[in-house]
Amino acid sequence: MSNQALDALAIAVVLTQLTVLLWVLIRRRGMRPVLAVNILFALGMLIGASQLIREEPFLGLSLCVAELVVLTGSAFGFRGWLSAKIIAWIGFAVHFTLSLAVMLFVLTFEFKCCGYL
pTM tops 0.85: no
| Crossing angle of helices 82-108 and 57-77, rounded to 10° | 130
- The pLDDT of residue 54 is 87
Mean per-residue pLDDT pooled into runs of 10, the chain (117 residues): 80 93 89 92 89 89 92 91 92 93 88 61
Spatial separation of the C-alpha atoms in residues 117 and 112, rounded to whole Å: 8
Spatial separation of the C-alpha atoms in residues 98 and 93, rounded to whole Å: 9
What angle is formed at CA 39 by the lines to CA 107 and CA 18, rounded to 5 degrees?
40
Nearest in space to 6 (alpha carbons), one of 90, 111, 114? 111
Pair 35, 52: CB distance under 8 Å: no
